[in-house]
Amino acid sequence: MMKAIVRPGSMAGRLTVPGSKSHTIRAVCIAAMAEGRSAIGNPLASRDGAAAVEACRALGAKIEMAEGVWHVEGTGGRLHTPDNIIDCANSGTTLYFVTAMAATLPTWAVITGDEQIRARPILPLLEQLRNLGAEAFTTRGTTPPPAIVRGPLKSGTVRFDGRFSQYVSSVLLAAPLADGTVRIEVADPKERPYLKMTVDWMTAHGIQVHYDRANYRSFEVTGPQAYQAVNEAIPSDWESVAFPLVASVITGSTLVIEDVDVSGGQGDAAIVDVLQRMGANLKLDAEKKTLTVEQSGKLQGVTINCSDIPDAAPILAVAGCFGRSPMRLEGLEMVRAKETDRVAVMKEEIAKMGGRVEDTHDTMTIYPAALRGAIVASHGDHRVAMALAVAGLAAEGQTTVTDAECHDISYPGFFESMNKLGAGFVLEY
């Protein structure tokens, strides 16, 4: 197991972050179902990216992972029966997407993952797949995986409460392989930028989707339809940008982040607006695709609804510790059902560093604090590990983040790239 050790310091320089995890997994799944050969440029070569590749290989796609580009020979909508169980490792997105894809098969598939994945809810998705004619259940009869599914999928209507966009996206992605019209109704859509991302990927690759463009409360896809091959580059990941960005703001550093995604296709780009509202000195140049961070003064606490940017909650909680006034994060119910209960975990670990966080079932209030170095735990959660490492850069004394190797689930090379800017992380194994 790896420990990341850091003392306070500032940074300077230029940085480029990896490709988007969310875009990469959608591209791989669509390429696996598509006709012909795809070429996915700038994919995120992380553990979650690899999990998506292995799961799609299990369903019959032939995938070559060269540096900087992945080539996928698609199944033309004729996915294969897996020879073995499908292990999604730590990737929740892969778990849900592949479960729906496997439900288009007339034969059985078993889908599971690591310990964290086997604690995540999947029963609501399985219940709705049954409304489309699939057989779908969990091996233990409870809500988490392993899941067992078989189809084929037929026309019908499914209904979700909207807390988890991945349920909706999974049915959307599989719907073109169904026989007839699949209608999805969503009571109260959360994580809406991810729903838009899914629809955009589908329509860009040959699929007609009729949907409520204003509120994302309904979607219709009539199958069978054929996906077209993917031949494009994955944009850089705003979820990853958040960590060096907040690190530079709270340490008074000067930093230029290059090749940022200015398409508007990632909800987590909202962190720029959030930090500007807090008083950070940031400049986003859409023409040059650069984000420049200049030295900032003391931050101001603000209230943020995270229902559309749930993955930003851990690093925003860190930013909140360095404000002049309390910061309130709202809309966090789904944040408690990620790789960990990130609300509870961040509250626990910030307390070890002398900070104070109060929480309800869907809110966090973070109070200003002079954080002290401490031994803190990642709980095996990549976003928690990186958020706590960033906190250590602005805390007094030495901070040690245990089990920090999980960072490579979404941002391989995070510590090395930060050290090139002068962060000074020491990694011990």
CA atoms within 13 A on the CB side of 146: 11
Which of these, 282, 350, 339, lies nearest to 329 by C-alpha position?
A: 350
DSSP tag of 42: S
- DSSP of 210-238, one letter per residue? EE-TTT--EEEEEE---PPPPEEEPPB-H
Long-range contacts of 137-146 (CB under 8 A, 24+ apart): 139/110, 144/117, 144/118, 144/119, 144/120, 145/95, 145/111, 145/112, 145/113, 145/117, 145/118, 145/120, 146/85, 146/110, 146/111, 146/112, 146/118
Residue 270 DSSP class: G
Burial 29-67 (b: 16+ CB within 10 A, else e): bbbbbbeeebbbebbbbbbbbbbbbbbbbbbbbebeeee
Distances (CA, A) of 79 to 27, 73, 374: 16, 12, 49
Active site residue 311: yes
Longest dimension (CA), the chain: 62
* Number of Cα atoms under 13 Å in the Cβ half of residue 269: 20
> Residue 277 is encoded by which pair of tokens?
């509202």
Q: Among 311, 362, 381, 403, which one carries the catalytic annotation? A: 311
Beta bridge partners of 266: none
Residues with catalytic annotation? 311
